[in-house]
Structure 1
C-alpha cells in the first residue's frame, strides 16, 4: 500500500512512468553492474506527455539542469518516505553512461521507432527517461509484457519524409495528443544546442 501511494505521488508530481526489476534479471550485456549492485532492485522513473513540464517551477534556467534537479529531489523523497532506504542514483549521474534506451527496451517500456527515437505505446514519442536508481529494498517486478511497436500500425510513416529527427518527431501521428507544449520543445532544443557548443 505504501509503495502504491509513493508511485501515485510520483505520478502526481509529473513522473508518471515507474518500473522496477531485479538487476539480476536484466540482460548480462546491458551494463557492467557490480556483484553488489546485482543483488539490488532497479527502479526507472520517467515522464510521458506534458505532465512534468506543468509541475516544474517556471521560468526554467538551462544552466541549472532543472529537470535533473527536480527528479533527484523526487527520487530522494521517495527513498526516504516510501522505501526508507538510501538509494544509489544511476541517472542522472554524470559519472555513469547508462544505456537508457536498452534499459527501457529490456523492461518492455518502449521500442525503437524508424527515426531512432524510442516510442511508448501510451505516449508515443513524447516520453523521457528521467531517473534510475538502485535500492536494497525488495520491490515487486513491474517490467511490462512484451509489446509490439505502435509504428507497425502506421501506414503513412510521415516521420521518414524528413532527415531531421526533431521534425520527424513532430509529424508522428501516434499519440499526438501527448505532444510536448511548444515552450517545452523550445526549452529542450535550446538545452541541446548549448550542449553542442
Structure 2
C-alpha cells in the first residue's frame, strides 16, 4: 500500500482557515455517513474551520461585500486551494449550504468541540473563539487526522465567570434558558444585542477573541433570526 500524502495546509493557514481535519469516510459512524450520502469515488471528508482573528482579517482584505461574506470567502478559499494544490481532484462542498450538516458531531469526533454553559463549543486552546467554516467530500488520499485529546476546560472552572456575567440569568441552575437569552437581547439598548457578555467573560482562549466588528457581524445575524421568531 502506498504511503498517504500529508495534508498541505500552509495556504489555508495563511488564508485564515487554520483548522483542518481529515476523516476517512469508512471510519465515520454509519449514521453520519448515511446523512452525507457519499457519491462514487468519494473517500474522505475534510472539515475546515478557523480559530482567532486571522479569518476575519482576510475576509476584510478580500473586499467581499455580500450578505454572507465569511461563507463566501470560505467557499472561494477552498475552491482556490483545490485548484492550486490539488488540480484534478474531485470534491464537493457540503457546507456552507442549505444542506443540514452535523457540525458539532464532526467537531466532537475531531476533538474540537466540548460543551460549555453558554451552549457554544469550547476547547483549551481557542476557548470559544473558533468556528466551522466548510465541509468537503473528496476523492483525496490524505493521511487521516488524529483527534485532539484535550478535555473541556469548563468542569474545572470553579468561578464560572460566564454564568455570573449573563445579565439575563439565562445560565443559572446549569441549564441554558434560550427564551430568557433571546428576550433579553430584544430589549431596547440591550448590551447583549450584538455580542454575548457571558462568552466574552470566559477566560479560556481570551487572547484569540474576535474583533468587535466580527462579533457584531455574527450576532447581528442571530439577532435578525430572533426578531423573526418573536415577531
TM-score by length of 1: 0.88
Q: Offset at 1:186?
A: 1.0
| 160-169 vs 16-25, greater mean Cα deviation | 160-169
Aligned residues: 194
* Gap regions ≥5 residues in structure 2: 171-180, 182-191
1:186 aligns with 2:186: no
Bigger-Rg structure (1/2): 2
* More contact order relative to length (CA 8 Å, sep ≥ 6): 1
Write out per-residue CA displacement over residues 143-184 of structure 1, whole angstroms, 9 at most, x where no aligned residue: 324331121331211112222492221111111111111111
Structure 1, unmatched stretches of 5+, are none
Distance 1:146 1:82, change over 3 A: same
2:13 is aligned to 11
Distance 2:6 2:71 in 1: 23
Aligned residue for 2:153? Answer: 150
Q: Which residue in the other structure is 1:30 paired with?
A: 32
Normalized per residue, the structure richer in strand is 1
CA RMSD of aligned residues (A): 2.4
Residues 28-77 of structure 1: CA deviation (Å, up to 9, x unaligned): 2235233537952111111101111111136764x521011111011111
> Helix, strand or coil for the counterpart of 1:140?
coil
- C-alpha contact (below 8 Å) 1:20/1:142 kept by paired residues: yes
Q: Write out aligned runs for 1:133-172 (5 A).
A: 133-161=136-164, 162=166, 163=170, 164=181, 166-172=196-202
- Assess if the C-alpha contact under 8 Å between 1:19 and 1:45 holds in 2: yes
